[in-house]
């Protein structure tokens, strides 16, 4: 089996308080991108599952997913999962979550309660089980597909050092960021009404990331990347997820390509992509 594991872009992220389980309540618009990892799943050579991800060191969330699947009683013969990484690591683009979700999808009907299992792996994993433009709430476990968005494209500036998600949320708490539940609920209604079928620039005033201040506090260079995107004509420039990737929104791929070219030489490795529906 060969599968795509698309990057996840947070077009906005509104932060609430910390819940009893330690996670934060949020409201966000998740958009899968054309940028994706390539996942190939086949038979393992030995008697144990194998995960290969050239160029990426350390534990892999796909391995954790496979262990969790086995613990739930998955009896499929041992598999080998080969990951061709195209999504930058620790960039706030959900690459590890997308890869783990692809492994869970492989089990299909052989395992019950995949969404519950996915949430146990990470807050971004449930939305990647069936990647679609969606309003996401709770800590990421409540997913409401909204239909394909209107046309847009993005230019992403990636900080290759990555940024720890837990550290960003902790910094947000330290800075006193976050909104009351009532305000979050109101924003959820507005996002649902605005996002269905529309291009994001039609509701640009809602494209806000409450974690941006915390991410910049930990990685000041993000502010420089946002300023550079503004300078090349981004209609909106913000951070995706917990960062450190900064992205600018443009009307279409042609405008995004022109902007990316203008970012050289400092940001010559800027990435251009669009919503998955264009693929």
pLDDT digits (tens, 9 = 90+) for 102-126: 999 999 889 988 999 999 999 899 9
Confidence class for position 196, pLDDT limits 50, 70, 90: confident
The catalytic residue among 8, 37, 99, 210 is 8
Give the list of residues 6+ apart from residue 224 with CB closer than 8 angstroms, or none: none
- Quote the pLDDT of residue 279: 40
Segment (H or E) for 68: helix 61-71
- Quote the pLDDT of residue 268: 96
Residue 194 has pLDDT above 80, yes or no: yes
Mean pLDDT over each residue of the chain, to the nearest integer = 95
Strand spans (E) along the chain: 2-18, 24-43, 50-52, 79-84, 134-138, 142-145, 153-157, 236-239, 246-250, 271-273
Question: What is the architecture, at CATH level 2, of domain 2-278?
Answer: 2-Layer Sandwich (3.30)
Closest residue by Cα to residue 10 from 172, 178, 183, 200: 200
The catalytic residue among 37, 124, 159, 210 is 124
In this prediction, residues 7-31 reach a mean pLDDT of 94
- Can you tell me the distance from the alpha carbon of 270 to that of 6, in angstroms, rounded to the nearest whole number? 18
Residue 162 has pLDDT above 90, yes or no: no
Residue 252 has pLDDT above 50, yes or no: yes
Instruction: Please give the span between the terminal C-alpha atoms of the chain, in angstroms, as a whole number.
Output: 19
85 catalytic, yes or no? Answer: no
pTM of the model: 0.93
- Quote the pLDDT of residue 147: 87
Q: What percent of the chain has pLDDT over 70?
A: 99
124 catalytic, yes or no? Answer: yes
Domain extents in the chain: 2-278
- Quote the pLDDT of residue 50: 97
């Amino acid at each position: 089996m060969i599968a795509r594991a698309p990057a996840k872009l947070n077009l906005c992220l509104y932060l609430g308080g910390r819940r009893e389980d330690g996670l934060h309540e949020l409201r966000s618009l998740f958009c899968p991108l054309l940028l994706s990892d390539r996942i190939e799943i086949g038979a393992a050579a030995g008697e144990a599952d194998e995960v290969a991800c050239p160029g990426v060191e350390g534990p892999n969330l796909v391995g954790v997913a496979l262990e969790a699947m086995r613990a739930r009683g998955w009896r499929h013969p041992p598999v080998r999962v080969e990951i061709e990484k195209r999504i930058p690591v620790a960039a706030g683009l959900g690459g590890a979550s997308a890869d783990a979700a692809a492994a869970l999808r492989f089990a299909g009907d052989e395992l019950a309660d995949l969404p519950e299992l996915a949430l146990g792996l990470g807050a971004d994993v449930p939305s990647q089980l069936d990647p679609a433009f969606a309003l996401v709430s709770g800590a990421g476990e409540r997913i409401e597909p909204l239909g394909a968005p209107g046309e847009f494209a993005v230019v992403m500036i990636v900080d290759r050092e990555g940024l720890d998600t837990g550290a960003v949320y902790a910094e947000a708490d330290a800075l006193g960021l976050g909104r009351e539940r009532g305000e979050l609920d109101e924003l959820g209604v507005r996002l649902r009404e605005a996002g269905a079928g529309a291009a994001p620039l039609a509701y640009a005033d809602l494209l806000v990331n409450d974690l941006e201040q915390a991410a910049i506090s930990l990685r000041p260079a993000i502010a420089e990347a946002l300023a550079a995107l503004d300078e090349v004509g981004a209609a909106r420039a913000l951070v995706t997820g917990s960062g450190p990737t900064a992205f600018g929104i443009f009307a279409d791929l042609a405008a995004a390509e022109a902007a990316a070219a203008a970012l050289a030489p400092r940001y010559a490795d800027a990435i251009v992509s669009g919503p998955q529906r264009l693929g």
